[in-house]
Amino acid sequence: MSEANSLISHLIELRSRILKALLSVLIVFLCLAYFAQDLYQWLAKPLLDALPDNSSMIATDVASPFFAPFKLTLVLSFFIAIPYVLYQVWAFVAPGLYRNEKRLVAPLLFSSTLLFYTGMAFAYFVVFPLAFAFFTSVAPAGVTVATDISSYLNFVLKLFFAFGVSFEIPIAIILMCWTGVTDAKSLRAKRPYVVVGAFIIGMLLTPPDVISQTLLAVPMWILFEVGVIIGGLYANRNDDEAEDDASRPTV
């Protein structure tokens, strides 16, 4: 009976954490809904700056001018609320973690959020201007570039997600080294395969142009090297702590 009560209490807490996370997204959305049109204009700026003087964005669907900005606002609300959502995840799993695990998980949650935001910022400020300038410059003669607002939104959200997730590579490597799945030495030996894999992933996740693929693949490779270095340092520290614990006299 106690196990059943424990399971029910965990399910109730899980429901509470999920509701709080969803409520945080809703609150942010309500705060941003008034600025939905301005947010979309800000998102479209890299493309608008690259379009020829006689071109503009278009809406091929009747409801697109209304729904596209609000779709952007909803996704942006989730991105903004990610720290609080991750805190709810942390608060739910923390009671079941050991003290050394808590020391690792808390910084990783903060770092993963920061890296995700960094990946999105890199896509907006670096990748978008270069990629859109390339796309508009290769249009055949006589073809007017006029992008649909819904298609553009889906395109940039895909890139935001791709770069945000790709910038999480150091976190994934640290976790693998911490759990013993692999170690820094083995990862260094696989470096050539990682470089090739980064360019393949860049090819799959980005538009079919060399600029976008390279701008995703190169940061992935650099972040892999950073993750290997940090993962190696953390693994060495864990080994030293284990040796110290083993050398302590038992009472």
Domain ranges of the chain: 3-240
Phi/psi at 148 (5° precision): -70, 140
Two tokens, residue 112: 């993963």
pLDDT per residue as tens, the chain (251 positions)? 466 667 788 788 889 889 999 999 999 999 999 999 999 999 999 888 888 777 788 888 888 888 999 999 999 999 999 989 888 888 887 777 677 667 777 778 888 889 899 999 998 998 888 888 877 777 776 677 778 899 899 989 988 988 888 888 888 888 777 777 777 778 888 888 888 888 888 777 666 667 777 888 888 888 888 888 877 776 655 555 544 444 444 44
What is the Cα–Cα distance from 234 to 105, expressed in whole angstroms?
Answer: 13
Contact 197, 141 (CB under 8 A): no
Predicted confidence at residue 60, as pLDDT, reads 83
Place of tokens 């170690």: 183
Contact 131, 47 (CB under 8 A): no
Report how far apart, in Å, the C-alpha atoms of 211 and of each of 29, 47, 207, 215 are.
34, 16, 9, 6
What is the Cα–Cα distance from 26 to 34, expressed in whole angstroms?
Answer: 13
Predicted confidence at residue 250, as pLDDT, reads 46
Place of tokens 């190169």: 218
Helices (H), 33-148: 36-50, 64-93, 99-122, 128-137
Cα torsion 76, 116, 159, 22: sign = negative
